[in-house]
Structure 1
Amino acid sequence: MEPGKDVSLDEFHEWYGNEHIPLRLESLPEFRSAARYKVTGAVFPTNAVSTSEVKAPGWAAMYTISSNAIFADRAYTRLRDERSAREADIFARIAVVDRRAYRLVYDSDLDARIHSPARHNLRPQTKDEIERESRYVVAHGVETDDAQEYAKWFDEEHAFLLSKVPGWTRSRRFELVDNGVVGHAADKQGRDAKEVPKFLAVHEYTNDQPESTQEYKAACDTEWRARAMGPNGERIVKRERKTMQLFRAYDPISAMQEK
């Protein structure tokens, strides 16, 4: 999200942290983790139609959810249909809301070469765990002209090599299920949502400078990566990259109270 000039940061943080997130974590056990991040950098194709506010929103929230079916459940839809007057007012003034739902297709936690199986496996991830393991996140959206080659490279080589980077804790790859971009800074024809790449890789670190290490550079400079992405990235159809610093993590209250 990008609050924009019509929503102050104090107002934005107070609403999101004390109303928007608690409504989900306190009543929906499907929400297994929640964390908010400050976006520290963003790279987009130069031909993207998005405005600067849409391209690089200042804030992000990431949730791990046990099933995307919750989005059609009344327990979730009522949060939108019965939103408070304050939330409705903020949504009317906010510059950008870029919402995306993904399906998990690869998780290094389940890769026996890297971790013992089922290190997380969708169990509730606590605030303390997130603060310890996910202080810096790289979110890399990409779509190439050969999805199978990209997936094979990522799952069989890239995640494994990144696991050697000092401070690395986890890599996951997702496939886009649904998304939308709204707000007064968003394109009125809906073109912003169409620019979102089909796949998203999320890499988590305990430090904020993994890119400076030799291990990171080696993971991003292999023959297989060159084949998957093409010379000078010629096989890339869509791309975006964001770096984020942890702002605040939350305990998934309802999920932690499951019996």
Structure 2
Amino acid sequence: MAPTAFLLVFSEPGPNVPEDEYNDWYDNEHIPLRVNTPAFLNWTRWKAVDGEKPTYGASYDLESYEATKKAPYTTLAETRSDREKGILANIQLLDRRHYELIEPHPIPLRHSTTRRNLPHTSSLSPEEDFNKWYHEEHIPLLAKAPGWVRSRRFILKDCGQMGVEAQKDQKPPKYMAVHEWASMDSFKSPEYKAALATPWTEKVFANVVAKERRVMTFVRKWARL
């Protein structure tokens, strides 16, 4: 089944949740419960290499956005263990974002067994030109860079934060692009730099009103049991 939705979660354990306990909970309780939930199609954890916080990320391909609105997906929040309730009550930040896939880009992905890096960018500008730029120029140029694996674009459907530093009214930008790379060395290549330095790129980003960019490295993937 091809995924049509995406869940991205950023998290920061903070001083009230020991990092070892946080990682043990995520690896051995939180994600394993989702491995057997039909709405989820894959499960991956990431860690920041850009020096920014939150430190951790998790991404999940989902069968559809509609599947997040019904059981068994919705029962995950209703059946939390005491351990999970305690961690979520004390965690510094858990930032959850549901997205829906924008039409797949025609450039095929390059298969790689060493896929490690996930840059994440979100931005909003005049939409027609923004989307045309992404589809006709930006992704095709990125795809020429060594180490490029794939690029996918999404549109935000809903979001929410939990934790000591949660900001209830904070909303991410409308669009997100997830670019996957085999190595950090890709960012040093002439092709990658050229993709960021075109006149059209400058024009688009002159009108951007909100932007995020994260660079994370692969930690672990799970297979369905």
Q: Taking structure 1 as the reference length, what is the TM-score of the superposition?
A: 0.79
Q: Which amino acid aligns with 2:119?
A: V
Which residues of 2 match residues 101-250 of structure 1 at below 5 A? 101-108=98-105, 111=106, 114-115=107-108, 132=113, 134-144=115-125, 146-187=126-167, 190-191=168-169, 193-194=170-171, 196-230=172-206, 235-250=207-222
Q: Which residue of 2 aligns with 1:39?
A: 48
* Residue from 19, 40, 46 that aligns with 2:29: 19
- Give the Cα separation in 2 of the matches to 1:32 and 1:74: 16
Once the two structures are overlaid, the 10-residue window that deviates more, 217-226 or 158-167, is: 217-226
CA contact 1:133–1:204 (8 Å) conserved in 2: no
Following the alignment from structure 1 to structure 2, what is the Cα–Cα distance between the partners of residues 68 and 99? 14
Contact 2:120 2:178 in 1 (8 A): yes
User: 2:215 and 2:31 mapped to 1: Cα distance?
Assistant: 22
Q: How does 1:35-114 map to 2 (within 5 A)?
A: 35-41=44-50, 56-108=53-105, 111=106, 114=107
Q: List per-residue Cα deviations over 1:11-67 (Å, max 9, x = no partner).
A: 0111111111111112x222111100001216xxxxxxxxxxxx7201000001111
| Aligned-residue offset at 1:182 | 1.9
Instruction: Report SS of the residue matched to 1:246.
Output: strand
SS of residue matched to 2:21: helix
Q: Say whether the 8 Å CA contact 1:31–1:252 is kept in structure 2.
A: no
Aligned length: 215
Distance 1:142 1:38, change over 3 A: same
TM-aligned CA deviation for residue 133 of structure 1: 5.1
Instruction: Supply the RMSD in Å over aligned alpha carbons.
Output: 1.8
Runs of 4+ in 1 over 6 A off after TM superposition: none
Secondary structure at the counterpart of residue 57 of structure 1: coil
- Shift of residue 107, structure 1, vs aligned partner: 3.1
Q: Secondary structure at the match of 2:221?
A: strand
Q: Greater relative contact order (Cα 8 A, min sep 6): structure 1 or 2? A: 1
Q: TM-score, normalised by structure 2?
A: 0.90
Greater share of helix residues, 1 or 2?
1
Equivalent of 1:29 in 38, 49, 59: 38
- Describe the SS at the equivalent of 1:56: coil
Structure 2: unaligned runs, 5 residues or longer = 1-10
- Structure 2 residue 16 is the aligned partner of structure 1 residue 6: yes
Question: How far did residue 78 of structure 1 move?
Answer: 1.2
Q: Secondary structure at the match of 2:88?
A: helix
Query: Aligned with 2:12: secondary structure?
Result: coil
Q: Do the aligned partners of 1:95 and 1:183 also contact (CA within 8 Å) in 2?
A: yes
Is the contact between residue 29 and residue 252 of structure 1 (CA under 8 Å) also seen in structure 2? no
Residue type at the aligned position of 1:226: E
- Structure 2 distance, partners of 1:242, 1:60, is 10
Deviation at residue 94 of structure 1 after TM alignment: 0.3
The DSSP-based 3-state class of the residue aligned with 2:102 is strand
Structure 1 alignment gaps of length 5 or more: 43-54, 121-128, 254-259
8 A Cα contact 1:103 1:174, kept in partner: yes
The one-letter code of the counterpart of 2:48 is V
